[in-house]
Structure 1
Amino acid sequence: MPKIIKSDICQPRQRSDALTEKRNLKMARSIHAYVRGNTAKYYDWLKAAEISSIPQGPAVWICGDCHTGNLGPVANVEGQIEIEIRDLDQTVIGNPVNDLIRLGLSLATALRSSDLPGVVTAQMVEALYAGYVHALENEGQPTDLVNRPRAVHGVMQQAYKRTWKSLAKERLQGLEPKIELGRKFWPLLKKEHKAIEQLFRQEHVSDLVMMIGQRSEADRIHMLDAAYWVKGCSSLGLLRYIVLMDTNHHHISEGSDLCLMDLKEAARALAPRYTEASMPRDNAERIVEGARHLSPYLGSRMRASKFLDTSVFIRELMPQDLKLEIEGTNEFEARNLAFYLAFVVGRAHVRQMTQVERKSWIKELKRAQSKTIDAPFWLWRSIVELISEHEAGYLEHCRRYALRNQSKSRG
C-alpha cells in the first residue's frame, strides 16, 4: 500500500485550482494524452473544416468521444465481459462518422507517441476503415470471432482474473471498509456527504446497488464512506465521487456485500447531434440512454438522478472494467488494433440500424473509396488535418503549462 502524502490531499475549497493544474499537466505528457483530454478541439475543427465531402450516416447513438482510452473490457450484471465503449458522457444521436474519425485521430497520435514511421498511419487508416465496414457487413458477429490484438487479449486476460479484492486493493485502505484519501480521493464538504447519503436512499438508486451479485433483497444498504474522485482529463472539474456501500452489516466477502459506486456529473454534450433526432433533454438521462444502445453491458448498470440540483449518473464499479492502454505498439499490432477497435465501434453502431440503413451506409462508404489508399480519402484527409491541428495545439499547451510548472519548481 503506497504511503499517504499529506500534500496530495486537497481540501474542498481548493479543488478548482488544483484540478485545473492537474488537467493541464496531464495533457502535457504526450500528444496522445492531449488528444484524449481535448474533445472540444476536435469539434472546433469539425465546425471550421470543409466537411462537404464527409458523408452523413444514419441517425444512431454515437459515443461522441471515441478515443482508445474510452474502449475496454466491461462487465454486465452477470459478470460476463465484453470489449465495449466505456465512457458515454458525449453520447448523442448523430453522424457515426464522427466516432470513426475521432478513433482514427486517437490511434494516429498513439502511433506517433510510439515512434512508428508515418507510413504506418496510412496502413492504420486502411485497417480502421476495413474493420468498421467488416462490422457493418457481418451484422451481429461476436467480437470473439475477430482476432484479438495483443493489447486487447492482455487486458481481457487481466479482466477475467480480477476480483473484488483487486478493486479494494486499489481503492480502499487494505480490505478495510474505508476509502483511502490521497492523490486520487479527496475529502468532502458536509453538504456533499449528506446529499450522497440522501441520494442512495432513493429507491431507483438503492435498486442499482442491489442488482449485481448475490445480494439479498432483505439486506439493508448503508453508506460507509465517500470521497471526491480525481479521475480523467475530460472529467476533471466536474463533480465526481466514489461511494462505498455496505449491504450486509460490514461483513466483507468476495464483493457480494460491499460495493463501490461511481457518481458523476452529466455535462452538456459537445458532440453535434442530428437536430431532428429525439433525445432526453436531461444530460444524465441522455448518457444512460446512449449507453444502453451503444454498450449494453455498461448501460444496464447505470441510472440517472439529481444531486445538489445537478444532473448525475451512477454505476457500480466492477473489477473487470478496465481501460485499454496501447502505447508502445509495433507496426503489425497497430494495424490489428485499428481493425479490431473499429469493428467494436461499428458493431455498436450497426445494432441500431435497420437493414435498409445498414446496406445504404455500406454502399455510401464504399462509394467514397480512394484510388491511392484502401479507405475513403475524406477519412485520410480528416485524420491528417486533425493530427496537424492537435500537434500545434499540444506544443502550445506544453509551452503554457509544462514550462511554467518547471519554472515554479526551480523557484
Structure 2
Amino acid sequence: MASDTTVAPGDREGRLTALRNLKMARSAHAYVRGNTLQFYEWLNDGGRTLPLGPDLWICGDCHVSNIGPVADRDGGIDIQIRDLDQAVVGNPAHDIVRLGVSLATAARGNDLPGVITARMVEQLIDGYERAMGGGRKAYRVVDRPDAIRLVMKAALKRRWKHLARERMKGLTPHIPEGKRYWPITPDEQADLQALVDTDAMRHLVTQLVYRSDAARLELLDAKYWVKGCSSLGNLRYALLLRVVTKNEDDEICLVDVKEALKAAAPRSPHGEMPRNNAERVKQGALHLAPNLGDRMMTGRVRGRSVFVRELRPQDLKIDLDQLDEVEAMRVARYLGNVVGRAHATQLDWPTRKAWLADLQRNRPKTIDAPSWLWNSVVALVQAHEGGYLEHCRRYAITQAR
C-alpha cells in the first residue's frame, strides 16, 4: 500500500531539490557533505598553493561519512573509502584537504575547542604520512580508536535481518513505498529487469562463497531510492532479488543501482581513465577500496550509465557524534591513515618517498602540519560557514512563502 509520503515519478525533481536543501540546512557538517562543488571551485581558484602530488586514483569527495566498514565478497570486513562517485586520477593532496575540512566541521558540531581542531589536522597528516611507510614497506597501520572499534564490532554482528529492518521495515519480500522509496515508471521497471537478467548481475550476486554459481535471479520489487545528499536528483534504485537454487533454500538480497555522472573533481591532465563514468567509478573503487570494487558491475538504465553493487549488512558509515577531545584526535589520525593507505598501495617506494618528503616540508612552528594544509582547512571552513548561513537564510525564506 502506498504511503502518503509517496511521490509520483513526474514529481520527483521538485521534491528531491527541497529534500536536499533541507538536509543541507540541518548542520554545517551536512552542508559540507552536500555542497561538494564549493570545494572544487576553491581548488580551481585558491587551491593553487597545494603541493602537486603524484598522479593516482583519489576519492575526490573524501569526507568522513564516505569512509567506513566495507564487506568483501569472502565475508571479511575492513575500513575503506565507501563512496567513489567522484573518483578520478588526480592530486592526492585534494583528498587530504577535503578530509581535513570534514573533520574540522565535525569538531565544531561536537562543540570541541578550536585548539582541538588544530590538533586533529596534525593527527590527520601524521596518520597519512605513516601510511606512506618506511624503507620498502608499503604502509604502516595505526591503532583503531574506540569509536572505530565500536563501528567495526557493530558491523561484524550485522546480518540480513538487520538490513531488512532498516531498508524494508520488515522481513517480507517487498519494498514498501514511503519517504525513502518511491514508485518507478514501467520503462524503468523494464530496464531494471533487463539488468537483472544479465550474466553480469548473476555473477555479481552469486560471487559470495556460499551461493551457487548456477543460481537464478528473480526481481521481486524495485523502487526509486531517496538516498544521499549531493547525489539527490540522480537516478538511484533499490532492487529486491530472490536467489533461486535447486538444492538449497532461496535467499533474498538487496541491490543498489546508482547513476554515474561526469566527475566534478579536478583530474590530472595526464591520467588515463575510462570514458564511461560507471567504469570510472568501478576502477576508482578497485584501486582505493578493493572490498567495494570487487563487488561492482556497470550497466545502463534509461540510457544512462549506472554502477551496481549488492548491499551487505556490514557496510556502514562513520558518524562522529559525541566525541571527546582525545578520541577526536585519534579518529583523525586513523582516518588519515586509511586514506593514506589507499593512496600508498598505488605507488612504488621511490614515488612514496618523494611524496612523503613534499608533505613534510613547510611546517610552521605553531602547528605540526604543513602550512598549505592548515591554511586550506581554515579558508575552506570559513567559506563553508558563510555559505551554510546563507543557505539557511535562503531556505528559511523559501519555507516562509
TM-score surpassing 0.5?
yes
Question: Which residue in 1 is equivalent to 2:156?
Answer: 160
Among 24, 29, 41, which residue is 1:32 paired with? Answer: 29
Q: Residues 112 and 93 (structure 1 numbering): CA distance in 2 closer, same or farther, change over 3 Å?
A: same
CA distance in 2: counterparts of 1:85 and 1:252, whole angstroms: 34
Question: Which residue in 2 is equivalent to 1:242?
Answer: 238
Q: Give the CA deviation at 1:105.
A: 0.1
Farther-moved stretch of structure 1 (368-377 vs 180-189): 368-377
Is it true that 1:198 corresponds to 2:171 in the alignment?
Answer: no
- What SS does structure 2 have at the residue aligned with 1:36? helix
Question: Which residue in 1 is equivalent to 2:39?
Answer: 42
State the AA in 1 paired with 2:173: P
Asked if the contact 2:3/2:177 (under 8 Å) is kept, the reply is: no
Asked if the contact 1:74/1:86 (under 8 Å) is kept, the reply is: yes
Among 309, 316, 323, which residue is 1:322 paired with? Answer: 316
- What SS does structure 2 have at the residue aligned with 1:223? strand
State the AA in 1 paired with 2:323: T
Could you tell me the TM-score, scaled by structure 1's length? Answer: 0.94
Q: Give the CA deviation at 1:386.
A: 0.0
Is it true that 1:376 corresponds to 2:370 in the alignment?
Answer: yes
Could you report, residue by residue, the CA deviation over 1:48-96 in whole angstroms, capped at 9, with x for unpaired residues? 2052x31111111000000000000000001100000000000000000
Structure 1 gaps of 5+ residues are: none
CA distance in 1: counterparts of 2:84 and 2:47, whole angstroms: 27
Q: Give the CA deviation at 1:403.
A: 4.5
Question: Which residue in 2 is equivalent to 1:23?
Answer: 20
Among 105, 108, 114, which residue is 1:112 paired with? Answer: 108
Is it true that 1:6 corresponds to 2:33 in the alignment?
Answer: no
Q: How does 1:194-273 map to 2 (within 5 A)?
A: 194-248=190-244, 257-273=251-267
CA distance in 2: counterparts of 1:251 and 1:335, whole angstroms: 52
Asked if the contact 1:75/1:320 (under 8 Å) is kept, the reply is: yes
Could you report, residue by residue, the CA deviation over 1:260-316 in whole angstroms, capped at 9, with x for unpaired residues? 100000011111111111110110000000100000100000011122210100000
CA distance in 2: counterparts of 1:154 and 1:343, whole angstroms: 18
CA distance in 2: counterparts of 1:198 and 1:10, whole angstroms: 24
Q: Give the CA deviation at 1:227.
A: 0.3
Q: Give the CA deviation at 1:404.
A: 2.8
Over the aligned positions, Cα root-mean-square deviation in angstroms equals 1.8
State the AA in 2 paired with 1:20: T
Q: Residues 50 and 176 (structure 1 numbering): CA distance in 2 closer, same or farther, change over 3 Å?
A: closer
Question: Which residue in 1 is equivalent to 2:271?
Answer: 277
Among 95, 98, 102, which residue is 1:99 paired with? Answer: 95
CA distance in 2: counterparts of 1:50 and 1:325, whole angstroms: 28
- What SS does structure 1 have at the residue aligned with 2:62? coil
Task: Among all aligned residue pairs of Structure 1 and Structure 2, give the percentage whose two residues are the same amino acid.
Answer: 50
Among 385, 394, 401, which residue is 1:400 paired with? Answer: 394
Among 283, 290, 301, which residue is 1:289 paired with? Answer: 283
Is it true that 1:347 corresponds to 2:341 in the alignment?
Answer: yes
Q: Give the CA deviation at 1:121.
A: 1.1
State the AA in 2 paired with 1:393: G
State the AA in 1 paired with 2:336: A
State the AA in 1 paired with 2:168: L
Asked if the contact 1:19/1:237 (under 8 Å) is kept, the reply is: yes
Q: Give the CA deviation at 1:120.
A: 0.9
Asked if the contact 1:252/1:258 (under 8 Å) is kept, the reply is: no
Structure 2 gaps of 5+ residues are: none
Q: Residues 108 and 251 (structure 1 numbering): CA distance in 2 closer, same or farther, change over 3 Å?
A: farther
Asked if the contact 1:151/1:325 (under 8 Å) is kept, the reply is: no
Q: Residues 127 and 274 (structure 1 numbering): CA distance in 2 closer, same or farther, change over 3 Å?
A: same
Q: Give the CA deviation at 1:370.
A: 2.1
Q: Give the CA deviation at 1:249.
A: 7.1
CA distance in 2: counterparts of 1:188 and 1:307, whole angstroms: 12
CA distance in 2: counterparts of 1:73 and 1:233, whole angstroms: 20
Could you report, residue by residue, the CA deviation over 1:201-254 in whole angstroms, capped at 9, with x for unpaired residues? 11122211211242212321111111000001011000000001111279996x
State the AA in 1 paired with 2:107: L
Q: Residues 273 and 329 (structure 1 numbering): CA distance in 2 closer, same or farther, change over 3 Å?
A: same
CA distance in 1: counterparts of 2:190 and 2:154, whole angstroms: 36
Q: Give the CA deviation at 1:356.
A: 1.1
State the AA in 1 paired with 2:68: G
Could you tell me the TM-score, scaled by structure 2's length? Answer: 0.96
- What SS does structure 2 have at the residue aligned with 1:49? helix
Q: Give the CA deviation at 1:173.
A: 4.8
Aligned residue-pair number: 399
Asked if the contact 2:130/2:140 (under 8 Å) is kept, the reply is: no
Q: Residues 27 and 5 (structure 1 numbering): CA distance in 2 closer, same or farther, change over 3 Å?
A: farther
Could you report, residue by residue, the CA deviation over 1:116-149 in whole angstroms, capped at 9, with x for unpaired residues? 1111111111111111101112544575xx3222
Among 173, 178, 182, which residue is 1:182 paired with? Answer: 178
Question: Which residue in 1 is equivalent to 2:361?
Answer: 367
CA distance in 1: counterparts of 2:47 and 2:238, whole angstroms: 43
Is it true that 1:84 corresponds to 2:84 in the alignment?
Answer: no
Question: Which residue in 2 is equivalent to 1:313?
Answer: 307
Asked if the contact 1:171/1:180 (under 8 Å) is kept, the reply is: no
Is it true that 1:62 corresponds to 2:96 in the alignment?
Answer: no
CA distance in 1: counterparts of 2:322 and 2:45, whole angstroms: 33
- What SS does structure 1 have at the residue aligned with 2:329? helix
Asked if the contact 2:132/2:340 (under 8 Å) is kept, the reply is: yes
- What SS does structure 1 have at the residue aligned with 2:360? helix
